[in-house]
Structure 1
């Protein structure tokens, strides 16, 4: 069960609660069983699941209702609070206190370490830091070229020598090179290890002595589930200054297991990988993560993505608000879908909006780059009037547009159908009073559950 499926299962359990006319002990126990099932299918440790759901059930049955809140709202709040506590309570960040800050990354081979380093470099670059990367992986052929290729589009420099076999020498020389260039952050990529943690920890110790990093970062593959516990524990015992990136959480069947296993060791998760693109790395904040997982949204995260996008492109919050209200034409639709793609996968963006992530049909969000390109070609063959007023497009116009764009009548109809479906859907969302979603989330928002 991928994390998206875990979110759907948890969201479904809470919607069952919201639809109940009477919230009695039987309903509460049924919802708790659904939550248990969802977590266990996501490979979370059974004992941890039982402890967690016992606390949820006990609080739901025994706690006195706070003033001004319904029992349904109170139980959802309990689930949110307990899951947040379960995953670590507070967000922890990598602190950039001095220039340059040196970060050392380690990880088992195949954990996604090299990709994560590129993502981390891009993350800091977008926040105004000048970043340099040092590749000391002398074991894996092509590691240097892979890292270089990943960050080349962003003009991030990589120091390395594929012919050099001495990782310690590469680390020293790379750090010295970037210190002379006055970069803000130096990220050192070490070689991955095949099997056990002993070699990993030993390499970390040797390179650490050579370059004296401010922080050591362990990259853990989210697909290994509960096995992440041993890696995280060994790492935590070896260094008190470490942090962890959990990768491959976008499609992992064991993502919940990996996250909960790492948290159980007390080691700090600071980032999670949520996609294949270099942009798909996000700080791990248990509150915001659980909020999205339950379908409660993450307006703060959405606004941060808008802010990032507006720095690089002409994009305003009011444009998104117009889109959400269903008051857009074909030109607007293309501009917003293209902009949102730059923010990340559309599905992930919509999960930041309370009540929308799991209610939006898949066909609305599966607008890949190829379809967007085709849509653009089709729209280039339309008149300005047709773009502004798509309702005037009849069959004869469709045939003309198809001929002019080198596409088929079916392709043009698909574009118009996509437009009409999205417009209808967002208008419907607006009727359910979700226009307030453009505001920051000041507290729990239960609109997505129909409460």
Structure 2
């Protein structure tokens, strides 16, 4: 997400950061570039206009002129205004209600609403330790009811059955009664989506909202629709008292305009952002962290939280003890580290959050894809346990066998062994080893030429 915007803003702000003095003229040129970058990122025009005015008012004032480093101050102003546009701070769900706290999900068909119900249920169960029940009031699509039942089964959360011959209000009220009797903390109600906004849809969801009085009414919108996301959110906000927005498919949107437009146009906070297809790929939306990502400064706090949450601490501890005892870091350990990276969203997700990575060229980013990691895993899987434990055994004939077994070339095997050797050296330097420290020391693992050296040229 934000790749295009990060690249454009990064270059523009780099030009001005070296200036010893900022004048109205050079600020004017930079603001024009910032304006173009935002418009190309599909940010709504009223949002761009207000943003540029705010930055300009602060930049030509005393705030910059009295500074010893005006270029850096200008970048700080841009960052703080980005944060302001997106809502200052993360706004958590309000679950302070007599159980069950009812959450109503609204949105157009295809926005990822039912999947978001599953992701939110997973988020509340795993991170908030809530007992969650889900129900589908979408009586127009039997597949939606079945999809939600499958998600609930996979996530091991409660599912309240419904059928297409029932009325949405009856379904929701029965689910609330069941949740109350079974002591559920939260009930999430999925609603019917349409291909476009129409009067029947709005009347139905307004009646449902009035009947169940949810404590949270969340609008689910597809980030890929750009400016339309903000306009659709506004239409729903005019019809319903929305309390927040979930922005889905943000990982597939290189522009990121929706994230910068929704809050400004609707006045409602983005509470969550969907960053992948997995059911745990839902992040709380932190405007300050997103602003840092946009400016290529990374998002270390989210990265640390992800490491804390997803790294297998028992495995990390065993690896630490193994390295400390001098037993060395072998290819099986290397494979487990790759698997943990994948569990954390893959290489691109990690790079997106690391400081300085936002300014990498598109060519380097293209090489740093998760296919390379899948290939590395496939190569290691084609090795015998003995070869994984003692990589020095891997001679020419063994390489040919491994290449044939993994569908790769001998140069791919050589490249993996070289990268493994670099990782092995890094692990020796690290007291303790493990994924947490590996993330913090990732730059020292880079081969000459940076990230690009890790990946094959295609």
**Shorter-chain TM-score range:** 0.7 to 0.9
The alignment partner of 1:5 has SS state of helix
Q: Residues 150-169 of structure 1: matches in 2 within 5 Å?
A: 150-169=151-170
CA distance in 2, matches of 1:222, 1:417: 40
User: What corresponds to 2:287 in structure 1?
Assistant: 286
Q: Residues 196-235 of structure 1: matches in 2 within 5 Å?
A: 196=197, 198-235=199-236
Query: Is 2:39 the partner of 1:40?
Result: yes
User: What corresponds to 1:91 in structure 2?
Assistant: 90
CA distance in 2, matches of 1:333, 1:122: 29
TM-score of the superposed pair, with normalisation by structure 2: 0.79
Query: Is 2:351 the partner of 1:350?
Result: yes
The alignment partner of 2:159 has SS state of strand
CA distance in 2, matches of 1:27, 1:420: 49
CA distance in 1, matches of 2:21, 2:78: 15
The verdict on how the C-alpha distance between 1:30 and 1:424 changes in structure 2, with shifts beyond 3 A counting, is farther
User: What corresponds to 2:135 in structure 1?
Assistant: 134
Post-superposition Cα deviations, 1:270-313, rounded to whole Å, max 9, x if no partner, equal: 11222222222111111111111111122211121122114787
What is the CA RMSD across the aligned residues, in angstroms?
3.6
The alignment partner of 2:348 has SS state of helix
The verdict on how the C-alpha distance between 1:279 and 1:385 changes in structure 2, with shifts beyond 3 A counting, is closer
Tell me how far 1:184 sits from its aligned partner: 1.7
User: What corresponds to 2:124 in structure 1?
Assistant: 124
The verdict on how the C-alpha distance between 1:110 and 1:70 changes in structure 2, with shifts beyond 3 A counting, is same
User: What corresponds to 2:183 in structure 1?
Assistant: 182
User: What corresponds to 1:412 in structure 2?
Assistant: 413
**Please, which runs of 5 or more residues in structure 2 have no aligned partner?**
428-436, 442-458
CA distance in 1, matches of 2:59, 2:380: 52
Post-superposition Cα deviations, 1:209-240, rounded to whole Å, max 9, x if no partner, equal: 33332211111222332233443333334444
Is the 1:292–1:351 Cα contact (8 Å) retained in structure 2?
Answer: yes
Is the 1:135–1:189 Cα contact (8 Å) retained in structure 2?
Answer: yes
Is the 1:112–1:219 Cα contact (8 Å) retained in structure 2?
Answer: yes
Tell me how far 1:106 sits from its aligned partner: 1.2
User: What corresponds to 1:73 in structure 2?
Assistant: 72
The verdict on how the C-alpha distance between 1:34 and 1:402 changes in structure 2, with shifts beyond 3 A counting, is same
Instruction: Point out the more displaced range, 394-403 or 214-223.
Output: 394-403
The alignment partner of 2:368 has SS state of helix
Post-superposition Cα deviations, 1:134-153, rounded to whole Å, max 9, x if no partner, equal: 01111123111222233432
The verdict on how the C-alpha distance between 1:373 and 1:436 changes in structure 2, with shifts beyond 3 A counting, is closer
The verdict on how the C-alpha distance between 1:400 and 1:239 changes in structure 2, with shifts beyond 3 A counting, is closer
Tell me how far 1:252 sits from its aligned partner: 2.7
Query: Is 2:112 the partner of 1:108?
Result: no
Is the 2:382–2:406 Cα contact (8 Å) retained in structure 1?
Answer: yes
User: What corresponds to 2:14 in structure 1?
Assistant: 15
Q: What number of residue pairs does the alignment pair up?
A: 420
The verdict on how the C-alpha distance between 1:178 and 1:312 changes in structure 2, with shifts beyond 3 A counting, is farther
Query: Is 2:261 the partner of 1:260?
Result: yes
TM-score of the superposed pair, with normalisation by structure 1: 0.80
Query: Is 2:74 the partner of 1:82?
Result: no
User: What corresponds to 1:172 in structure 2?
Assistant: 173
The verdict on how the C-alpha distance between 1:315 and 1:106 changes in structure 2, with shifts beyond 3 A counting, is farther
The alignment partner of 2:252 has SS state of coil
The verdict on how the C-alpha distance between 1:152 and 1:373 changes in structure 2, with shifts beyond 3 A counting, is farther
CA distance in 1, matches of 2:46, 2:250: 22
The verdict on how the C-alpha distance between 1:335 and 1:16 changes in structure 2, with shifts beyond 3 A counting, is farther
The alignment partner of 1:103 has SS state of strand
Is the 1:227–1:261 Cα contact (8 Å) retained in structure 2?
Answer: no
The alignment partner of 1:275 has SS state of coil
User: What corresponds to 2:378 in structure 1?
Assistant: 374
